[in-house]
Amino acid sequence: MKQKTKTDEEGMRHIISILMENEAGALSRVAGLFSARGYNIESLTVAPTEDVTLSRMTVVTWGSDEIIEQITKQLNKLVDVVKLVDLTEGPHIEREMLMIKVRTSSNDSREEVTRLVDIFRGRIIDVTATSYTIELTGTGDKLDAFINAFEKTPILETVRSGISGISRGAKNLHI
Amino acid sequence: MKLTGADILTRFLADEGVEFLFGYPGGAVLHIYDAIDRQDRIKHILVRHEQAATHAADGYARSTGKPGVVLVTSGPGATNAVTGIATAYMDSIPMVVITGQVPTHLIGNDAFQEVDAVGITRPCVKHNFLVKDVKDLALTLKKAFYVATTGRPGPVVVDIPKDVTADSVDYVYPKEITMRSYNPVVKGHTGQIKRAVKLMAAAKRPMLYTGGGVILDNAHKELAQLAKKLNAPVTNTSMGLGGFPASDKLFVGMLGMHGTYEANMAISNCDLMIAIGARFDDRVTGNIEKFAPHAKIIHIDIDPASISKNVKVDVPIVGSVSDVIKSLLREIKASEFKPNKAAAKGWWQQIDEWRAVECLKYKTDGDKIKPQFALETLYNITKGDAYVTSDVGQHQMWAAQYYRFDKPRRWINSGGLGTMGFGLPAAMGVQLAFPKATVACVTGEGSIQMNIQELSSCMQHNLPIKIVCLNNGFLGMVRQWQEFFYDERYSHSYMDSLPDFVKLAEAYGHVGIQVTKPEDVEAAMKEAFKLKDRLVFLDILTDPEENVYPMVPAGAGLDEMILI
């Protein structure tokens, strides 16, 4: 998947939440649509919902209003798509989870990492003699800031979940 | 009573009302072919190549409005069918393609004749299914037909592993189906209908631009009423020809790259464009910045994604074309709409001036057969009432220009994908659907060779198609572009080592006639069409240097046509 940072002329960033039939191939239909029509994907996540017959997918994309309109129309046209909403059209919450493994071979570095984890309200979830693994949840910006904060501590590995989103208030994406 | 998956399939197809199954056997579909042999409700039409099976089913679908049905084996059977599936997809043709698959336990093992048919066809189908359990088979097939034939129609692939066709389960024909994720809109939005009629009432130079959607939705009668009511000129896309009678005085011909002068000029000067079941394809619009620059645009289409895709429109109306036109007619009546007679007079005067240019006139040359003349003769001999299928290239454009279609579903061509090799197998599907009708396949010596093996299928199934081959020894459209835009460097557009088509037709058991002189064209065609129960291959040697005019060069506006 093409990774790109957004700029103003490339249009607004949108978070599109999709409820789809939990069928084999549903994910590839969405991914195939984006690549065939040349749409951008920043991140894409998918998992079953409380109703096991449905999956919920969150696609983060960007483009002009016309492109975003086409993206939502083309997604709606997929036979497996039950319903979708562009979360960025209203107040919403977005979250991403990061797991990061850093080298902590000295007491100093262990202390510094612990301080950073406290400041960012992360959690240390695994420890060895030479490394800490930290879990952090937040917006993409917050995760970026956290990663950038490790100036002296060598980063061994990072993994990010991609964005999940939900609208604020009682409004909901449901069938 | 328990039935095997193979028997369920044939039973289901018969219960669904399927007459013909176009196909080719192979390992993965042997159980199905055995089941076909056990029944007599559906007829299997054996072709010589799977691509032809899909085009034949496509021709059947375009001429009847019913879904075409195809059966092919796994692996190469499925990949050979892909071109035909993509052809149907681009033109929104209802089709159900059943592909055999290796047994479920071998899927993913690179088994013999295994391909990921669902993966390969995904970008060129409306939807596709892999059936992993015989219990799901009947319902999946029902879904396939439902999806293929409703909303914006299109091809649907059902991939069935061999073991599923051997397993047994109780069979009940599912009469009805609902899908929570698939609910095409039919009725147009009332507010939008009102807005559209307001624009119509205010228009001084209205214009109807209609496409394949009118034909797919059988909306030709409603369209004729609307055109009459508005007293507006009507232009058709290549896919839309026959959706409005070509002999009607409101008709200004096809628009676009090879459209008429009057149609393209009217588009460029109208102040209201009503686009119906058309999708603003690049071959239609030319330079999009210069397309209908003075017009407000109303766009009626069943597919929301077609609207404002290429051209931003003022009043979009999503819905079935026939339903929306009916609502428009009701609203026009209710709103005491009166056409602006003075403005209409001026608009029609202007159009008549453009018509006087006679853009379809061509130069005649004593001893060379002009392809336009051959097609005019075809029109006269068949009294304008034949089913005409075509291949792709110059002959296709000339047929669209010179065979004046008065009825829908008579002009069968690959508009969107532009698939050479479409014409002959498509004609097979049409002739099977209408055994008594006159079916002509207009083709060229290049296109016909892309599915020429089907001459054998035509013999087997007694299909008296008339092949009108405009043989100019060139891939004419390629040659024309090379003449205009590549300084006459005719790179590989010459058809060397052509077969003797007369002998070839005879070798397959058909009749072949070669025509070399203009004065023989009429007599040869008369003779050919008199042979009601024989396929006749008319090999007509035409002027190799003739070009299709008018022509809008790539990147130009519609009013910047090259005239002859």
Query: What are the pLDDT digits (tens) for B14-28?
Result: 999 999 999 999 999
Identify whether B339 is preceded by a cis peptide bond (ω within 30 of 0). no
Contact B127 A79 (CB under 8 A): yes
Q: Which of B456, B392, B390 is nearest to B424 (CA)?
A: B390
* CA–CA separation, B354 and B204 (whole Å): 18
The residue type of A73 is K
Stretch B160-183: mean pLDDT: 96
pLDDT at residue B9 greater than cutoff 90: yes
Q: Looking at the complex, does the CB of residue A8 fall below 8 Å from at least one CB of chain B?
A: no
Which pLDDT tens digit goes with each residue over B106-148?
A: 999 999 999 999 999 999 999 999 999 999 999 999 999 999 9
Which chain A residues are Cβ-neighbours of B123 within 8 angstroms? 32, 36
Complex confidence, ipTM: 0.90
Which pLDDT tens digit goes with each residue over A109-160?
A: 999 999 999 999 999 999 999 999 999 999 999 999 999 999 889 999 999 9
Q: Looking at the complex, does the CB of residue A66 fall below 8 Å from at least one CB of chain B?
A: yes
pLDDT at residue A6 greater than cutoff 70: no
> Chain-centre distance of CA A116, in angstroms?
22
pLDDT at residue B300 greater than cutoff 80: yes
pLDDT at residue B165 greater than cutoff 90: yes
* CA–CA separation, B46 and B48 (whole Å): 7
B178 touches B296 (CB < 8 A): no
Residues in contact with B297: Cβ distance below 8 Å, sequence separation at least 6, in sequence order: B272, B273, B275, B311, B312, B313, B314, B315
Residues in contact with B222: Cβ distance below 8 Å, sequence separation at least 6, in sequence order: B321, B322, B325, B326, B329
Which chain A residues are Cβ-neighbours of B180 within 8 angstroms? 82, 175
* CA–CA separation, B479 and B485 (whole Å): 10
Q: Looking at the complex, does the CB of residue A24 fall below 8 Å from at least one CB of chain B?
A: yes
Residue B376 bears catalytic tag = no
Which pLDDT tens digit goes with each residue over B548-562?
A: 999 999 889 999 999
Cα distance from B279 to chain A (closest Cα, Å)?
A: 14
C-alpha dihedral sign at B124, B127, B131, B132: positive
Cα distance from A18 to chain B (closest Cα, Å)?
A: 12
* CA–CA separation, B490 and B486 (whole Å): 8
Backbone angles phi, psi at B549, to 5 degrees: -125, 160
pLDDT for residue A9: 56
Compare A5 and B545 and report the one with higher pLDDT.
Answer: B545
Stretch B94-99: mean pLDDT: 98
Backbone angles phi, psi at B272, to 5 degrees: -145, 125
Q: Which of B44, B282, B32, B289 is nearest to B161 (CA)?
A: B32
The three-state secondary structure class of B493 is coil
B311 touches B287 (CB < 8 A): no
Q: Looking at the complex, does the CB of residue A32 fall below 8 Å from at least one CB of chain B?
A: yes
* CA–CA separation, B563 and B254 (whole Å): 15
Residues in contact with B421: Cβ distance below 8 Å, sequence separation at least 6, in sequence order: B51, B52, B55, B83, B391, B447, B450, B451
Per-residue tokens: B559: 């009013």
Contact B123 A32 (CB under 8 A): yes
pLDDT for residue A174: 86
The strand order across the sheet containing B155-161 reads B43-46, B20-23, B68-72, B95-101, B155-161, B127-130
Stretch B278-305: mean pLDDT: 95
Which chain A residues are Cβ-neighbours of B119 within 8 angstroms? 28
* CA–CA separation, A140 and B493 (whole Å): 55
Per-residue tokens: B547: 């070009």
Compare B465 and A174 and report the one with higher pLDDT.
Answer: B465
The upper half-sphere exposure of residue A2, i.e. CA atoms within 13 Å in the direction of its Cβ, equals 13
pLDDT at residue A8 greater than cutoff 80: no
Spell out the SS3 assignment of B310-328: CCCCCEEEECCHHHHHHHH
C-alpha dihedral sign at A41, A43, A47, A49: negative
Q: Write down the number of H helices and E strands in chain A.
A: 4, 9
Which pLDDT tens digit goes with each residue over B192-236?
A: 999 999 999 999 999 999 999 999 999 999 999 999 999 999 999
**pTM for the predicted model, two decimal places:** 0.95
pLDDT at residue A4 greater than cutoff 70: no
pLDDT for residue B564: 81
Residue B126 bears catalytic tag = no
Contact B122 A29 (CB under 8 A): yes
B358 touches B530 (CB < 8 A): no
The three-state secondary structure class of A100 is strand
Per-residue tokens: B49: 């190549």
Centre a 10 Å sphere on the Cβ of residue A138 and count the other Cβ atoms it contains: 18
pLDDT band at A2 (very low <50, low <70, confident <90, very high): very low
Backbone angles phi, psi at B514, to 5 degrees: -105, 140
Residue B39 bears catalytic tag = no
Closest alpha carbon within chain B to A81:
B181
Return the beta strands (E) in A53-145 as ranges: 54-63, 81-86, 92-103, 123-127, 131-138
Tell me the pLDDT of chain B averaged across its residues: 97
- The proportion of chain A whose per-residue pLDDT surpasses 90, expressed as a percent, equals 86
Q: Which of B142, B162, B370, B466 is catalytic?
A: B162
Which pLDDT tens digit goes with each residue over A46-73?
A: 999 999 999 999 999 999 999 999 999 9
Which pLDDT tens digit goes with each residue over B177-201?
A: 999 999 998 899 999 999 999 999 9
Per-residue tokens: B386: 């034949």
